[in-house]
Structure formats: C-alpha cells, structure tokens
Amino acid sequence: MDISIGLFLIFLFILGTIVGSFLNVVILRHNTGKSLAGRSGCMVCGRSLRFFELIPILSFIVQRGKCNECKSKISLQYPLVEVGTAILFTLSGFFVYNHFGTYDLLLSGIVLIILFMTMSVLVIMTTYDFKHTILPDKYTYSFACLALISSIITSYTPADFLMSLLGGVATALPIFALWFFSKGRAMGFGDVKLSVGIGIFLGIYMGISALWFAFIIGAIYGLVLMLLRKANAKSEVAFGPFLILGFLVVFFTGVGFIEILNAIIFI
Ligand SMILES: [Zn+2]
C-alpha cells in the first residue's frame, strides 16, 4: 500500500468525523420538527457553540465532556457517533481499494459514495434504535434502496441481481417469523425491513451469516447486561444495532458462519 493511499485513508477518517458530527444533528432533530440548518447549541443552557467548539472529537476531549458555559455533561453520543462514522468511512475506503483498485476511478468513486451514504444511514439507525427502540421507515427504506443500487452496480448478470433479491427475502424471513410468532415482542417490524436491505446487500449466504453474528453478539450483550443486573429477561433491548453490527462484520471481513464454525471445529 503506497503513501498516497495511506494519506487518503487519513483524509477519509477526518471526513468521517465531520460527517459524524452532522449525523448527530440529524439524529437529535429527527421528529422534532426542527430544521437541520441553524447553529448547534448546548442542550442545557442553550448557548450557541463557537467555531472551535464544533471541531469533532477534539472539542469533546479539550472540554472534558462538559459545556464551557454551564459545565453540564455533554452526551457521549457525540464523540461515539463521530469516531464510529470516521472508522466506517476509513474501512469503506480500504474496502473499495481492495475490491475495485484504482484503475477505474469512476467506478471506485461511485461505490465509495454509495458506501458513505450506507454507513451514514447505518450510524443513524444504530443510534436512534439504541435510544428510542425504533427504526424509522425513512432510514430502513433508504438502506434498502442503497442495497438495490449497489447490487445493480456490482451484478454482472441479471441472475446475480435476482440472487441479491432472493438474499433479501431469505435474510428477512427468519426475522419476519420471529416478529410474527412473538406478536412483535421479540422483534419489531423495523427489524424485518432492515434485514431486507442487509440480505440484498450481502446475498443469501452472507445475509444469513449476518443474522448469525447478530444473534451471537446480541446474546453476549444480553448476558453481560443480566450479569451486571442492568436488565432482566423481560427488558426491551433494541435488536437493530446487533443486526447492523452483524452486517458490518460480514461485509468488511467477508467471513460467513461456515468459515467460523470450521475454524472452531479445527481448533
Ligand atoms: Zn451549557
């Protein structure tokens, strides 16, 4: 990997923190009727932020997570979303470099932009679902549309495209069954819509693998919460963030559940 690619990835990281701080505003103002324009202010004392207080991550560290004026705590959501977006943008750049290279810059650029949009939607859904246990239609549908576009671009034949559509059905089916038979208690219908997008993006095998990772990560998280006595078996835990985590693991590593099971068997 030459130096220009390294510099490019650093640029993507910085770009990710800036986009991340914008996503924080989108998450905060969703369903509040407020527009996305206008300066951000402290949530407690309402003071508008000065320019240097808007610098992602750094301003949070310099201010030690407190408002300069009223000293009230600034939510950890801000730096987490900024760092998360930065990491996902950098990984996206690395992914495109590995899979598409630099010989067709137009194609690589288009795929990269689609991935940026996809990662942004996923960050919004993760944070929103975590806070409110809701996956708004606007974002699950946007994600499914981005999955369709990416599948059209990367399909060589109509059969490839058909397979990604089947991936959407196959991945959503288990989640749909859980939603249906638990009467919406184990899963929300938003999770079903999200899985459609995941399946179209990944295809049948990788889509099912993403579910597999989501259930394992979710089970570990649930156990830890119960051990820490922060939750019991009846607590409502959003499943969207785990589906998204499962998707990201499979998407960026290219590893499915059979590879993992094989690795476990041969240890
Ligand atoms: Zn304040």
Asked if 170 and 259 sit in the same domain, the reply is yes
State the pLDDT at residue 245. 97
Please tell me the total count of domains within the chain.
Answer: 2
- Residue 95 contacts residue 252 (beta carbons within 8 Å): yes
Structure tokens at 54: 């808007």
Structure tokens at 175: 């989640």
Q: How many CB atoms lie within 10 A of CB 119?
A: 23
Q: How many CB atoms lie within 10 A of CB 206?
A: 20
Cα 74 to middle of ligand 1, angstroms = 9
Cα 47 to middle of ligand 1, angstroms = 6
> End of a domain among 104, 132, 160?
132
DSSP string, 54-122: GSTTHHHHHTTTB-TTT-PBPPTHHHHHHHHHHHHHHHHHHHHHHHH-SSSHHHHHHHHHHHHHHHHHH
> End of a domain among 98, 132, 166?
132
Asked if 54 and 175 sit in the same domain, the reply is no
State the pLDDT at residue 53. 79
Cα 83 to middle of ligand 1, angstroms = 23
State the pLDDT at residue 231. 67
Cα 41 to middle of ligand 1, angstroms = 8
Cα 128 to middle of ligand 1, angstroms = 23
State the pLDDT at residue 30. 78
CA 245 to chain centre: 7
State the pLDDT at residue 39. 66
State the pLDDT at residue 234. 65
State the pLDDT at residue 45. 83
Range of the domain at 236: 135-267
Asked if 110 and 154 sit in the same domain, the reply is no
Give tens-digit pLDDT for 88-138. Answer: 999 999 999 999 888 889 999 999 999 999 999 999 999 999 999 999 999
State the pLDDT at residue 90. 98
Q: How many CB atoms lie within 10 A of CB 73?
A: 11
Asked if 95 and 141 sit in the same domain, the reply is no
- Residue 164 contacts residue 155 (beta carbons within 8 Å): yes
Cα 217 to middle of ligand 1, angstroms = 37
Cα 43 to middle of ligand 1, angstroms = 7
> End of a domain among 112, 132, 152?
132
Q: What angle, rounded to 10 degrees, do the helices at 158-181 and 189-227 form? A: 60
Asked if 172 and 235 sit in the same domain, the reply is yes
Low-confidence ranges of the chain (pLDDT < 50): none
